[in-house]
Amino acid sequence: MLQKGEEHRVNGLGYVIAAGLLVQFVVDRVVEVKNLRVLRYHPPPELADTYDDERFRLAQRYLYDNSRFGWVSDGAFLLILFGFWFGGGFAALDGWVRSAALHPVLEGVVFIAVLAGGWWALSLPFQIFHTFVIEERHGFNRATPAIFATDQIKTLLLSILLGVPLLSAIVAIFLRAGAHAWLWCWIAAGLYVMTVQTLAPTWILPLFNRFEPLVDGRLRRELFRYVRSIRFPLENVFVMDGSKRSDKSNAFFTGFGRRRRIVLLDTLVRDLSVSELVAVVAHEAGHAKRRHLFWMTALIMARIGCWLFVFSLVMRYEVLYRAFGVATISVQAGLVFFCLLLAPLDLFTGPAIHALSRRNEREADRFAAATTGDPEALISALKKLSSRNLGNPTPHPYMVWRRYSHPPILERITNIRADGSASARETAEPRGAAPEAVPCRERNGLE
């Protein structure tokens, strides 16, 4: 029997999990400091045509501001989490939800919704600061407070609309489906991911942006000529009003099969030449041809399957709940605590996924360079995008390991040239399939 005052006491496992989260925080800060220490005074000679000294210094100031922001926001979130956790917040919330005597599924949804809502409310001031102070200071922000507020409301409503059914299904399955609950949840999660991916281009993206078909002209003709040359089905090319929110540039594909569309941000169309835009689209086509999105989604689904299985094994152990000061076992608290238990593992899984993504980027670049026959157009597009998005051309290798989903710009240029000369040597031998290429979204710019 617990003594008074001991109800919310956190057990040894709780301290181990807290230590794991702290280690993750410290590793990220060490990586950031190392990254700032290798900054140079002048741009590398390869980039001298797109980064002058002034632009290079701007990129470094942008990096410095973002690193400092990471210290403050990550530190504040960790402190708030620890305060809530060790101050008995989880136990109090659990008790409050139980006292409401709701349907068990609704109880689960309310428990998680209160935590997610609290997290969103806490993150709001940080998002406002990042958009209207940091992005504004560096000339990226184009969003007005009205656009920002509307975006937040739409995102919140969308999260409720999409999140509540999934959450209800998971809680209901774990409450009723017995030993195979994890398998049913996995199937439900897979169906959910497929549905959202299908709905996103036609129902979700238009809620936030306008998409205009690209007007007929040289760019449109060259893009269609290129996609026909690689036998890539394409329904249309759209230009998205990205400049409504940000001055950063990008491009992406939406839809599947014959309904595939290319979306170019208006900022990209404004800044790049026709051959550079074809190269960017060729990079995206490389991702599609090599089925990178499919394999990445398959990998993420495999990871979700593993986690659900392990969760089904550990959810009945009281020790997990005691680690967070909660005395009663429940699906909802178990899910939240299991996620916190796994969070420090991101130190291992995150870099592994990023490494795979960088490999895919190189493959997409190779595809673009080979199928357009113009590697220099791709290189010059990448350089322009990196400079425009104030990317850091000389990151520390630890930072690349921890956060980079794309190889740093100089490495990409070297790889495109090296892969180009390697494939030129092979041209005597016919290849079974078309080569590959193209861009993705990255922290410092281009995809």
Q: Which residues would be at the binding site for Zn ion (CB under 5 A)?
A: 361, 364, 439-440, 447
Joined tokens for residue 268: 């990209």
In the bound state with Zn ion, the residue whose beta carbon lies nearer, of 127 and 414, is 414
Question: Minimum Å distance from CB 443 to Zn ion?
Answer: 13
CA distances, 248 to each of 146, 210, 340 (Å)? 20, 17, 33
Nearest position to Zn ion, beta carbon: 440
Question: Minimum Å distance from CB 172 to Zn ion?
Answer: 38
In the bound state with Zn ion, the residue whose beta carbon lies nearer, of 109 and 440, is 440
Question: Minimum Å distance from CB 292 to Zn ion?
Answer: 8
Is residue 225 classed exposed, middle or buried when 0-12, 13-18 and 19+ CB atoms within 10 A define those classes? exposed
Residue 433's contacts (CB-CB under 8 Å, 6 or more residues apart) are none
Question: Minimum Å distance from CB 364 to Zn ion?
Answer: 5
Place of tokens 């980079």: 404
In the bound state with Zn ion, the residue whose beta carbon lies nearer, of 361 and 436, is 361
In the bound state with Zn ion, the residue whose beta carbon lies nearer, of 8 and 290, is 290
Residue 208's contacts (CB-CB under 8 Å, 6 or more residues apart) are 151, 154
In the bound state with Zn ion, the residue whose beta carbon lies nearer, of 107 and 447, is 447
In the bound state with Zn ion, the residue whose beta carbon lies nearer, of 320 and 438, is 438
In the bound state with Zn ion, the residue whose beta carbon lies nearer, of 251 and 315, is 251
Question: Minimum Å distance from CB 442 to Zn ion?
Answer: 8
d(CA 419, CA 328): 58
Question: Minimum Å distance from CB 324 to Zn ion?
Answer: 39
Question: Minimum Å distance from CB 60 to Zn ion?
Answer: 25
In the bound state with Zn ion, the residue whose beta carbon lies nearer, of 331 and 379, is 379
Closest by alpha carbon to 13, among 335, 315, 336, 337? 337
Closest by alpha carbon to 337, among 365, 351, 318? 318
Question: Minimum Å distance from CB 411 to Zn ion?
Answer: 14
